[in-house]
C-alpha cells in the first residue's frame, strides 16, 4: 500500500487553517454587534481552539479517530464559549470523512452523533440567542448528514476499487499459474521425447559401432540433432520467464515430418480431409500429442510400427496414433505423466483423449475441437 510522506500531509491543514482564521476574523465583527447573534470576538484561547482542528489534520491518516476527536472537541468548545460562527466546522468534516473512509466507521459515527446532540442542546438552551424547534434540529441533522453521505459514498467507492484491484491480482496470479503449468507440460513433452530418442539411438550406436560403423554414425547424427532440438525448444519455453522477451514460435503439425524422421520408427502418416491452418492451441496440442505417443512407443514398444492419422474436419481435428506393439515387454499403460498430460492438453481445449489397447499394441486418439470463430 502506498503511504504518502509526512510533508505531503501539510498543504491541506495549512490551507484549512488559513481559511478558518481569515474568514472567521472577517465575519466576527457583525456577529459581535448584531443583537440577533451576540457572539464574542476572538481572543488567544479562541485562536487556539480555531486552529487546533486544522493542526490535528496533519495526523488524520495515521490517527484518524484521534484527529476527529480533537477536531470535533475543539469545535464544540469553540462554539460552546460563544465565539463567532464561521468555517470552524470544516476541520471536523474533513476528519470525519477520513475516519469513515479508513474504516473507523463506528467511532466516527459515535463522535458525530455526540456532536449533533451538543449542537441541538446548545442552540436550544445555552446559546446567547437561543434557537428551538424541529425545523432547526432537522436543518442541523441535514447538514451533518451531507457529510455522512459524502464519506460513505467515498468509502464504498474505495472498497469497490480495492475489490476490483484484488480481483485483477487474483486473475493475474491465475494466469501466471496456468502459464507455469503450460511451461511445465511443454518441458515434460520436449524432454521426454528427445531424451528417450537419445537413449534409444545411443544404445543402437553402442551396439553397432564395432561391426557397422556407418549405421552407428547415423544414430550419432540423430543424437546430435535431437540434442540440438531439445535445447532450442527448452530455450523457447524458458524465454517466457524473461520480462519483455518474445516467445519463439512453438512446434506445430507443420513440423510433423521432421518429428517422424527423428523418431527412428517406421511410421505411416495419413491425412483425412483438407489440411489447413489451425488455431495455435489446437496445432500445438496436436503436435505434442503425437510427440508423446511416439515417445511412449519408443519406451514401451521398441521396434513397433506406427500409423498416424490426422482427420481435418470443419469443427475438429482428430489425431490418432496406433502402434503395432513391440517384441520387448513394455510398461503398463498410463504410467508416468505422459497419458495424463495428453488428456490435460485435450481437456484444456474442450476435447477428449482415449488411450486403449489395440491388438498387440496401443492406440491414442484425441478429438480437438476448433473454436467457431477460428473456422
pTM of the model: 0.54
Q: Which of 95, 113, 132 is the last residue of a domain?
A: 132
* 26: in domain: yes
Rounded alpha-carbon distances, angstroms, from residue 277 to 211, 289, 321: 47, 18, 21
**Parent domain of 119:** 6-132
For range 331-344, the mean pLDDT: 66
Q: Does the pLDDT at position 374 exceed 90? A: no
Grid cell for residue 82:
460563544
Supply the mean pLDDT for the chain: 84
**Predicted pLDDT of residue 132:** 67
| Residue pLDDT, tens place only, 158-184 | 999 989 989 988 888 888 777 777 777
* 108: in domain: yes
* 170: in domain: no
| Residue pLDDT, tens place only, 268-293 | 999 998 888 899 889 989 998 998 89
Which of the given ranges, 26-40, 101-115, 272-286, has the highest pLDDT on average? 101-115
Q: Does the pLDDT at position 238 exceed 80? A: no
Q: Does the pLDDT at position 251 exceed 80? A: no
Count CB-CB contacts under 10 A for residue 304. 21
Tell the burial category of 48 from Cβ atoms under 10 Å away from its Cβ (0-12, 13-18, 19+). Answer: middle
Give me the CATH number covering residue 371.
Answer: 3.30.565.10
Q: Which of 132, 153, 185 is the last residue of a domain?
A: 132
* 95: in domain: yes
From CA 164, how far away is CA 142, in angstroms rounded?
Answer: 32
Which of the given ranges, 98-102, 134-138, 297-301, 325-329, has the highest pLDDT on average? 98-102
* 14: in domain: yes
Closest to 94 in 3D by CA, of 151, 49, 142, 140? 151
* 184: in domain: no
**Predicted pLDDT of residue 332:** 43
Sheet order of strands, 316-323 included: 267-272, 306-312, 316-323, 361-369, 352-358
Count CB-CB contacts under 10 A for residue 205. 20
* 313: in domain: yes
SS3 233: helix
* Domain count across the chain: 2
* 265: in domain: yes
Q: Does the pLDDT at position 244 exceed 60? A: no
From CA 22, how far away is CA 25, in angstroms rounded?
Answer: 5
Count CB-CB contacts under 10 A for residue 54. 25
| Residue pLDDT, tens place only, 78-90 | 999 999 888 999 9
Rounded alpha-carbon distances, angstroms, from residue 80 to 46, 114, 130, 217: 11, 14, 13, 104
For range 304-319, the mean pLDDT: 93
Q: Which of 132, 151, 166 is the last residue of a domain?
A: 132
| 257-269 as b/e: b if 16+ CB within 10 A | eebbebbbbebee
Amino acid at each position: 500500500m502506498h503511504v504518502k510522506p509526512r510533508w505531503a500531509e501539510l498543504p491541506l491543514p495549512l490551507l484549512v487553517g488559513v481559511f478558518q482564521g481569515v474568514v472567521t476574523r472577517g465575519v466576527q465583527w457583525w456577529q459581535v454587534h448584531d443583537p440577533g447573534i451576540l457572539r464574542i470576538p476572538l481572543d488567544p484561547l479562541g485562536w487556539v481552539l480555531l486552529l487546533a482542528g486544522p493542526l490535528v489534520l496533519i495526523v488524520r491518516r495515521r490517527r484518524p479517530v484521534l484527529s476527529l476527536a480533537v477536531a470535533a472537541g475543539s469545535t464544540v468548545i469553540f462554539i460552546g464559549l460563544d465565539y463567532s460562527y464561521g468555517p470552524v466546522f470544516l476541520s471536523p468534516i474533513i476528519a470525519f470523512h477520513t475516519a469513515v473512509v479508513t474504516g473507523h466507521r463506528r467511532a466516527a459515527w459515535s463522535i458525530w452523533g455526540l456532536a449533533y446532540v451538543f449542537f441541538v442542546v446548545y442552540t436550544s438552551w445555552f446559546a446567547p440567542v437561543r434557537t428551538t424547534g424541529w425545523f432547526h434540529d432537522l436543518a442541523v441533522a441535514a447538514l451533518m448528514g451531507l457529510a455522512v453521505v459524502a464519506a460513505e459514498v467515498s468509502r464504498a467507492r474505495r472498497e469497490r476499487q480495492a475489490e476490483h484491484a484484488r480481483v485483477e491480482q487474483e486473475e493475474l496470479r491465475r494466469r501466471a499459474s496456468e502459464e507455469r503449468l503450460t511451461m511445465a507440460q511443454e518441458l515434460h513433452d520436449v524432454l521426454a521425447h528427445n531424451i528417450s530418442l537419445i537413449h534409444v539411438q545411443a544404445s543402437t550406436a553402442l551396439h553397432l559401432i564395432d561391426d557397422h560403423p556407418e549405421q552407428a554414425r547415423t544414430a550419432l547424427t540423430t543424437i546430435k540433432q535431437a540434442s540440438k532440438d531439445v535445447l532450442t525448444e527448452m530455450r523457447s519455453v524458458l524465454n517466457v520467464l524473461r520480462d519483455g522477451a518474445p516467445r519463439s514460435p512453438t512446434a506445430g503439425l507443420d513440423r510433423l515430418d521432421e518429428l517422424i524422421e527423428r523418431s527412428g520408427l517406421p511410421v505411416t502418416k495419413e491425412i483425412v480431409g483438407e489440411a489447413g491452418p489451425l488455431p495455435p492451441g489446437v496445432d500445438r496440442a496436436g503436435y505434442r500429442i503425437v510427440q508423446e505417443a511416439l515417445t511412449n512407443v519408443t519406451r514401451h514398444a521398441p521396434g513397433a510400427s506406427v500409423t498416424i492419422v490426422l482427420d481435418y474436419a470443419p469443427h475438429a481435428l482428430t489425431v490418432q496414433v496406433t502402434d503395432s506393439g513391440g517384441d520387448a515387454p513394455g510398461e503398463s499403460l498410463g504410467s508416468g505423466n505422459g497419458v495424463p498430460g495428453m488428456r490435460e492438453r485435450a481437456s484444456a481445449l474442450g476435447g477428449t483423449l482415449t488411450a486403449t489397447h489395440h491388438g498387440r499394441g496401443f492406440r491414442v486418439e484425441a478429438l480437438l475441437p476448433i473454436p467457431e470463430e477460428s473456422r
